[in-house]
Amino acid sequence: MSCLETLQAYAFRSLGYGERLLPRSDFTLCDQFVLIGSGMLWNIYFGVLAIVTGFVFANALAVAKNSSRGWLRRPANGFIFVFRGSPLFIQFFFAYFLFLSLKSVSPVFNLLSSAWMGALIVLFLNTSAYSAEIFYGALRSIPKGDIEAADAYGLSGWARFRRVIWPTTMRLAWPAYTNEAIFLFHATTLVFFSGFPAWRQQGDALYYANYFADKTFNPFVPYPILAFYFILLTLVIITVFGAVNSYLNRHLPQERRQKIRFKPQVIR
């Protein structure tokens, strides 16, 4: 099979299109590149959707955690504690078996035990908790002067939040949030190793890399390919988040703008 044919057969294999059977012998470099790349579609799917939905929820959580009202603050605290204090791997397992038992209660929950829905929910909750902690930290470190200036302009309530507090929070939180986004994409590789079944061998990049490593008993080809894809993905994330960062700081003079440098001093 030429490389072009491989591409046609396996480029969307992870989504169920193309050849049904995975290659079983005589694995070429092209096979591995195409199939692992095909699996990346799942990592991107999980990562992008969890980031986008998690961002909204994380903002709400951060505001709730910062609230002076106990009935808002305590649930937010508890939620963040549970999801930040336990391993994502265990959360996946627990959620999967929880969804399985829900399934036996009512067919309404059938969707939940499939990876594309169930794992996405877990990732969404998980990243919300981590991002909320980042946003909360930023919210607490808004310079007092900014708020006083808002008060002096007669801004209060929602207007003050939307025009002063929230933009500043984002500005302060963005470098740390970029790290969180990168680690979330890394975390998506856990999905198919933690209970959630890869239906008809439709898995993510690590699933296929592991498949090749098991079959060829040679880890030195598939894992570097996987690493290559992930480094590429990380560069894309840094570029996108860097663009947002410079948009957030567009009012600052050039030399005071903080460039995003990926330095995981604090990792998740």
Partner 1 sequence: MRPAIFSFCSDPASLDTFHWLSCYLTTGKHMGFYVSFGTVLLLLAITAPLALVFGFGGAMAARAHFAPLSWFGKGYIAIVRGVPDIAFFLFFVIALDQGIEWLRHQVKCPDWDAPIRQGNDFLVCSIAKMPLNSAPQWMHEIYGFSLAVLTFAIVFGAFAANVLFGAMRAVPRAQIETAEAYGMSRGQAFWRVLVPQMWVFALPGLSNLWMVLIKATPLLFLLGVEDIVYWARELGGSKAPQFTDYPHPDWRMWYFLGLLIFYLAFTKVSEIALSRITRRLSRGQATLAGEAMRKDQANSEGTPA
Binding site for partner 1 (CB under 8 A): 25, 81-82, 85-91, 93-94, 97-98, 100-101, 182, 185-187, 189-190, 193, 206, 209-210, 213, 215-220, 223, 226-227, 230-231, 234-235, 262-268
Q: Which is nearer to partner 1, 106 or 265 (CB)?
A: 265
CB 268 within 8 A of CB 183: yes
Nearer to partner 1 by Cβ, of 40 and 64: the residue is: 40
**Cβ at position 138, least distance to partner 1 in Å:** 17
- Determine the angle formed by the axes of helices 166-187 and 222-248, rounding to 10 degrees: 170
Task: Tell me whether residue 164 or residue 187 sits nearer to partner 1 (CB atom).
Answer: 187
Q: Which is nearer to partner 1, 87 or 197 (CB)?
A: 87
Measured distance CA(255)–CA(268) in Å, rounded: 29
Distance of CA 117 to the CA centre of its chain: 14
Q: How far apart are CA 249 and CA 112, in angstroms?
A: 40
Place of tokens 């290559």: 228
CB nearer to partner 1: pick between 59 and 189: 189
Contact residues for 182 (Cβ-Cβ < 8 A; gap 6+): 234, 237, 238, 262, 264
Q: Minimum distance from CB of 158 to partner 1 (Å)?
A: 34
Minimum distance between the CB of residue 187 and partner 1, rounded to whole angstroms? 7
Smallest gap from Cβ 38 to partner 1, in A, equals 17
Structure tokens at 139: 């919210």
